[in-house]
Structure 1
Amino acid sequence: MGRLWRRELWRLAALLAVGLLIGWPFGAIGYGLATALALYLAYQLRQLHALQEWLTHHPHDEPPAASGLWGELFDRLYRYQKGQRLTQRRLRDTLRRIQESSEAMRDSVVMLDRHGDMEWWNSAAERMLGLQPAHDRGQHITNLLRDPRFVDYFHARDYREPLTLSSPIDEQMILQFQITLYGDDERLVMARDITRLHRLEQMRRDFVANVSHELRTPLTVLAGYLETYGDMADQLPPRLGRGIVQMQSQAERMQNLVNDLLLLSRLEIDQGGQDDARLDPASLLDTVRRDAEALSAGRQRLEVSIEDVRGLLGSEKEIHSAVSNLAFNAVRYAGDDSRIVLRWRPWQDGACLEVEDDGEGIDPLHIPRLTERFYRVDKGRSTATGGTGLGLAIVKHVLLRHDARLEIDSRLGEGATFRCVFPAHRLVGDRATADSRRAGAGES
């Protein structure tokens, strides 16, 4: 390119020299130079006009014929255009393949812009969500999916867990929504039809609830007869007496298991959590402490710590069951001579009920699975302590019904902390008053 510029400058210099030579004999050097510059300018304007005509009317044709700097410019623009057309063709092909693959998906796919307006969706979205290309394109997603739970989920911007809702056009169709953020704050909304899985899960719940209910009567009869035989143990042979004691223990364990299964089934089926009575956490924890002390029989030290004066809205029976399960687990697994603290204190924007112990602790590898039904870190030890393996599953569902969550902090040899975190709208009282009271207690 530098060589072409030098050649162009030499051409201009030669043209000026010719104009100078022509004007010199007539004493009109200025006219000669002006004529040379006019000819040069006319040539440049002609090439500019050719460039404009080519780009405007024939951009896909060969460029105009030219030499020198203009010829190089035409060639470079032509190559650039060819490269851009090739890139655009590849992008169109890629976009077409993406759209075709999305169309082949059985799941709904909806693309949203940074404002939440719908830009594109596949045919599955039309079938599951009732979207219509002629009317809904450019509409905000919450104008079509108006369920308050979806609106809250969309605006919360916490999409780690999916949301399960009925289809807006068919209440019998159960959809699982998952939103993904990408690009410039854009969103991809995917909806999967889980109606069959939902029905299977409902059948499982009903089966467990029905079987547990049916087992209650024969277990009650067995336990009654075993209790009668236990009262007559001194009249029975020693070997038979020992067997009666073992049967009583196992019957009691089965009754506890059935009761926990029934409670868990009720919590799963009834997701409302409508009992919003005001609870006094201090009184609740004191009651749980006394029950845990009876189970401990002096093997551990149990304490209650109240660091927040606010009350809690919820079902007293369910929250008592959740905290009791955590406290009883601490008694069973923390080990002898350990210290167990039941605590109510502020936590982030809300508050939490904690059960903390300084016992053996739990390997972090097991923590993600602790709330699964019947999951045991140490099967032998868990069976020996009489646990049912459903305690933490019950805790999880109780907290879900109260818009709360379970957090677990533990390491081997460093004890464990089980934290029930409740949001601010589940609290009753003034946070400022609670802070001032704690400050005053600290100064005193």
Structure 2
Amino acid sequence: MPPLKPTWLGPLLRSLLPPTAVGLLLGLIDGDYGWSLAIGLATYLAWHLYQLIRLHQWLKTYQPDEPPPDGHGLWGEVFDGLYSIQRRDQRVRGRLQAVIDRVQESTAALKDAVIMLDAEGNLEWWNRAAETLLGLKTPQDSGQPITNLVRHPLFKTYMAQDNFKDALELPSPLNDRLHLQLQITRYGNGEQLMLVRDVTHVRQLEQMRKDFVANVSHELRTPLTVIAGYLEPLLDNVEDVNPRWRRPLQQMQQQAERMKNLLDDLLLLARLEASDSLQDKQPVAVEPLLQTIARDARALSGEGNHQILLEADPRLELQGNEAELNSAFSNLVFNAVKYTPAGGEIRIRWWADPAGGHLSVQDTGIGIESRHLARLTERFYRVDASRSASTGGTGLGLAIVKHALIHHHGRLEIASEPGKGSLFTCHFPTAQLATRRELGNAS
């Protein structure tokens, strides 16, 4: 098979043939072929240079709708090729612009704000809802840092930490009575897409629910106290009571005590939910607190004879509220006792590392299936209703733990496997920690 000729060879020969033929013809006339051929080729090169200058000028002042200059021969083919590419790009650009227009029209109809930020957090584009909810103005705010326009301290902290896993709620810059929820998603080369929703109605419903629970819990305490008050002397003199009433009275007292515990937990949860942060923080000695909880857990175990082990750094203290921390830690430890079979082992550990402070409660109990883990901190969520009833739980313990940790800027991590026990770990940031030596020097 003969080798293929280069594709450029034919156009090159066709372009050189006319000036060569003209040079040879002039040489035939004047008898000097060399000079005639040189003059012909020089004239041909000058024409090519002229066409190249025309192309350069067109590219220098290029406008998408301006066609390339006209030409003949080889340059005509070049200009025609450029024109074809230009038309094709115009069609593609038109289709892309139509898609962009449709996206902008659809997002403009949304009640939620859609905001596009560049990698530095500067505004690139937003829909009309962003103007209503955040007060952005077109076009003067384009290119401005979003933190210059939304000045709430929580938002600046949210943007600075560069962790957008959780949504942020804050009041609208235009109206403090409007509550907004912001969620940021990264895409492309570090660009950010911010979605903003008006959750005022949801917050109002949530507040109504909290007020209702708190008010009902408070109002139920008085009649419950009266009932328990009458049951106590009756059971103290049980020998004078008709035997048929002894068991009902005992069950009534048990259920009254259970309802009292439920009301106490509801009121505590209502107090925790009333604010997002602590009003009064003091250094809390965690190790003595855990010693007390461990003693109470051994008493709760009773004949269960659980082995409760405590390992705690006595110098490591935590800035916070002792009563709230006691409620959170005791709930974790007492739950471990309730859901660990007799003779099981419960390990309590309090330590610190470069990531912060950590409290872990590990048991060898019955464990929890993975599908339940994400919902364990919801109030009244039951993994097994019959099991909770038998242990006397209220279903609010882990909800109390969650909100107490939020007050202390902490978080709860849960790991469990059926039949292999559970591990509950409270993580606290380094800023919440202190040591006794540091506190002594500060005083």
TM-score normalised by L of structure 2: 0.91
- Partner of residue 435, structure 1: none
Report the residue type matching 2:293 in the other structure. V
**Rounded Cα–Cα distance in structure 1 between residues aligned with 2:292 and 2:399:** 22
Residue 110 (structure 2) pairs with residue 108 (structure 1): no
Partner of 2:19: 15
Change (3 A) 1:431 1:348: farther
Q: Could you tell me which residue of structure 1 aligns to residue 402 of structure 2?
A: 396
The verdict on how the C-alpha distance between 1:40 and 1:308 changes in structure 2, with shifts beyond 3 A counting, is farther
For 1:29, give the aligned amino acid.
Answer: Y
Q: What's the CA shift for 1:2?
A: 5.1
- The aligned counterpart of 2:178 is 173
8 Å CA contact 2:277, 2:406 repeated in 1: no
Q: Give the whole-Å Cα distance in 1 for the aligned partners of 2:271 and 2:21.
A: 103
Secondary structure of residue in 2 paired with 1:259: helix
Shift of 1:63: 5.7
Bigger mean CA offset, 294-303 vs 284-293: 294-303
2:379 to 357, 373, 383: 373
Does 1:418 pair with 2:427?
Answer: no
Q: Tell me the residue number matched to 1:29.
A: 33
CA distance in 1, matches of 2:289, 2:274: 26
Worse-matched range after superposition: 118-127 or 371-380: 118-127
CA distance change for structure 1 residues 29 and 197 in 2, over 3 Å: closer, same or farther?
same
Q: Is the 8 A contact 1:289 1:304 kept in 2?
A: yes
Greater shift after overlay, 96-105 or 419-428? 96-105
**Which residue in 1 is equivalent to 2:325?**
319
Offset at 1:45? 3.5
Q: Residue 175 of structure 2 aligns to which amino acid in structure 1?
A: D
Alignment check: 8 A CA contact 1:371 1:392 kept: yes
Question: What do residues 277-298 of structure 1 show as CA deviations (whole Å, max 9, x unaligned)?
Answer: 1111110100101111111114
- C-alpha distance in 2 between matches for 1:140 and 1:62: 40
Query: For 2:364 and 2:302, how far apart are their aligned partners in 1?
Result: 18
| Mapped contact 1:347–1:421 kept (Cα < 8 A) | no
Q: What secondary structure, in the 3-state scheme, does the structure 1 residue paired with 2:394 have? A: coil
Q: 1:166-216 deviations in whole A, cap 9, x for unaligned?
A: 111211111111111112211122211111111110000000000000000
When residues 116 and 11 of structure 1 are mapped into structure 2, their CA distance, relative to the original with a 3 A threshold, is closer
Change (3 A) 1:182 1:47: same
- 1:77 paired to 2:82: yes
- Distance of 2:218 and 2:378 partners within structure 1: 22
Alignment TM-score, normalising by the size of structure 1: 0.91
Residue 246, structure 1, aligned to residue 251, structure 2: yes
- Conservation of the 8 A alpha-carbon contact between 2:380 and 2:394: yes
What is the CA–CA distance in structure 2 between the aligned matches of 1:165 and 1:63, rounded to whole Å? 56
Letter in 1 for 2:249: I
Instruction: Tell me the percent identity.
Output: 49
Question: Is the partner of 2:377 in helix, strand or coil?
Answer: coil
Cα shift at 1:347 = 4.7
Matched AA of 2:363: D
**Structure 1 counterpart SS, 2:287:** helix
CA contact 2:116–2:192 (8 Å) conserved in 1: yes
**Equivalent pair of 2:317/2:436 in contact (CA under 8 Å):** no
Match of 1:364 among 370, 392, 404: 370
CA distance in 2, matches of 1:302, 1:263: 27
Q: Distance in 2 between matches of 1:270 and 1:51?
A: 70
Cα deviations by residue, 1:120-146 (Å, 9 ceiling, x for unpaired): 222211111122225422221111111
SS of 2:395 mapped into structure 1: coil
In structure 2, the residue matched to 1:438 is: none
Residue type at the aligned position of 1:425: A
* Residue segments in structure 2 that go unaligned for 5+ positions in a row: 439-443
**Stretch deviating more after TM superposition (409-418 or 65-74):** 65-74
Using the alignment, how far apart are the partners of 2:57 and 2:410 within structure 1? 69
CA RMSD across the alignment: 2.4
Structure 1: unaligned runs, 5 residues or longer: 433-444
Map of 1:45-444 to 2, 5 A cutoff?
45-48=49-52, 51=55, 60=65, 66=71, 68-299=73-304, 300-307=306-313, 309-347=315-353, 349-429=355-435
Seen in structure 2, the aligned counterparts of structure 1 residues 62 and 371 have a Cα distance that, compared at 3 Å, is closer
**Quick one: distance in 1 between partners of 2:327 and 2:339?**
18
Residues 319-375 of structure 1 deviation map (CA, whole Å, 9 limit, x = unaligned): 000011111100110111111111101255101111111222211111101101111
Structure 2: distance between partners of 1:308 and 1:67 = 92
> Number of matched residues?
432
Residue in 2 that maps onto 1:436: none
TM-superposed deviation, 1:61: 6.6
Would the alpha carbon gap of residues 318 and 92 (structure 1) be closer, same or farther in structure 2, given more than 3 Å must change?
Answer: same
Give 1:16 deviation, angstroms. 2.6
Q: Residues 266 and 166 from structure 1, CA distance in 2 versus in 1: closer, same or farther, beyond 3 angstroms?
A: same
Distance between the aligned counterparts of 1:345 and 1:253, measured in 2? 35
Mapped partners of 2:169, 2:394: distance in 1: 29
The 1-side partners of 2:326 and 2:63 are apart by 81
**2:441 aligned partner:** none
Paired with 2:279 and 2:408, the residues of 1 have a C-alpha distance of: 9
